[in-house]
Amino acid sequence: MSGFVFNEKPIQIERGDGAYVYDDSGTEYLDMGASYACVPLGHGHPAVQSAVSEQLEKITYVQASYPNAERTALYDLLADTAPDPIDKTWLCNSGTEANEAALKFARSATGDSKIVATMQGFHGRTMGALATTWKNKYKKPYEPLIGDVEFVPYDDSEALDEAVDEDTAAFIVEPVQGEGGINPASDGYLEAAREITEDAGAALIFDEVQTGIGRTGALWNSQRAAVAPDMITAAKGLGNGLPVGATLCRDWIAEDYGSHASTFSGGPVISAAAGATVSTVLEDDLPEHAATMGDYLQTELEAAIGDDVRDIRGEGLMIGVEVGRGANAALKELALNHQVLALPAGRTVVRLLPPLTIDESHADAVVDAMAEVVG
Ligand code: PMP
């Protein structure tokens, strides 16, 4: 028996420590993205390791309809740290599932069905989330998906204003598009989205699966824009590598969410992991550190390789570099010749999503490698 869905890379990663991972022959790689924004604290962070081990000793599963102390503490922590007035949380196992729930909750709470989503957006691959994802290749073999989804150009508030109407249940948007190529929203776009959705009685969903947990310079990107959506979805970095997702909601959504549940929702182990992760991100001021290191990295990359073709863009430690040729070839060279692991975003963008704990020496190493590979 073998798996069949992943295009495997020629490196088998066995262990991680901070910003580094090690393959089965002991070679060290700088992890600038292989962890996919999933380890904001770096690999093997002691706060998460010990919270998880202590929980493993106590109990690993509590039926979701009973409270458990770790889940209650996580609800409180997320309520305290989310933009007001968001203070209710639905916990699940992935980003896709968090978005799937958000779409369902929006339909139930508004009584409407139409969903507005953005071109180049990515929200997951289950039938509902997939219907709001842009790329045709991901959708074609599985059609028909859920109907009533309208796509608008990203970062265009006029088009959004035209699309959102009284039949709209939700507008779902990434504050910085990730899979679509690292496209940050312009100043004012998220604020306009807030006004447009509010006027139409539609829910505004910020998909913060990539931008959340401090990556773009605030715990939630919503706080950078000073916009409180109706829902924020999170996953990836929330459990520092363990599978946990969350749909954070305002009361009017939580009060009328319909009927939704899942066996592993808010299990004690992932709740302990997420609690330790979010607390440590905040205690160690990692959002601020991500903003500083992101500025440093972007400036250094700009100086080393920036030109008209090689656009460098992003917010905090969510950075994209247009490499002007196949991103996969550049990534392979970075990995095999320079021991730097990064990610693609589309065909021409190398994406950097390192642990938020990196310092200037890590940034310098990736700049040197990028200069050799694409300079
Ligand atoms: N939303 C965004 C913005 C994402 O980048 C992703 C994953 N790339 C998802 C949702 C889906 O998350 P998951 O893979 O955890 O289901």
Domains of the chain: 14-20+28-41+284-367 (3.90.1150.10), 44-282 (3.40.640.10)
Closest CA to 41 of 282, 270, 268: 282
CB 351 within 8 A of CB 342: yes
Total length of the chain: 375
SS3 string of 272-293? HHHHHHHHHHHHCCHHHHHHHH
Collapsed DSSP state (helix, strand, coil) of residue 66? coil
**Which amino acid belongs to residue 337?**
N
Q: Ligand 1 centre from 209 Cα, in Å?
A: 6
Q: Ligand 1 centre from 123 Cα, in Å?
A: 6
Residue positions forming the annotated binding site for substrate? 125, 262
Question: How far apart (Å, rounded) are the C-alpha atoms in residues 222 and 102?
Answer: 16
Max intra-chain CA distance, the chain: 59
Alpha-carbon 320 to chain mean position: 15
CB proximity list for 235: less than 8 A, separation 6 or greater: 94, 95, 96, 97, 98, 209, 243, 244, 245, 246
Nearest CA to ligand 1 atom 10: 123
375 residues of the chain, pLDDT tens digit each: 788 888 788 899 999 999 999 999 999 999 999 899 999 999 999 999 999 999 999 999 999 999 999 999 999 999 999 999 999 999 999 999 999 999 999 999 999 999 999 999 999 999 999 999 999 999 999 999 999 999 999 999 999 999 999 999 999 999 999 999 999 999 999 999 999 999 999 999 999 999 999 999 999 999 988 899 999 999 999 999 999 999 999 999 999 999 999 999 999 999 999 999 999 999 999 999 999 999 999 999 999 998 887 899 999 999 999 998 789 999 999 999 999 999 999 899 999 999 999 999 999 999 999 999 988
320 lines ligand 1 (CB under 6 A): no
Q: Ligand 1 centre from 372 Cα, in Å?
A: 31
Whether this model's ipTM surpasses 0.85 comes out as: yes
Question: How far apart (Å, rounded) are the C-alpha atoms in residues 268 and 70?
Answer: 6
CB proximity list for 175: less than 8 A, separation 6 or greater: 184, 185, 190, 206, 208, 211, 216, 221, 222, 224, 225
211 lines ligand 1 (CB under 6 A): no
This prediction has a pTM of 0.98
Tokens in use for 139? 């959708």
Residue positions forming the annotated binding site for pyridoxal 5'-phosphate? 95-96, 122, 207-210, 263
95 lines ligand 1 (CB under 6 A): yes
CB 352 within 8 A of CB 178: no
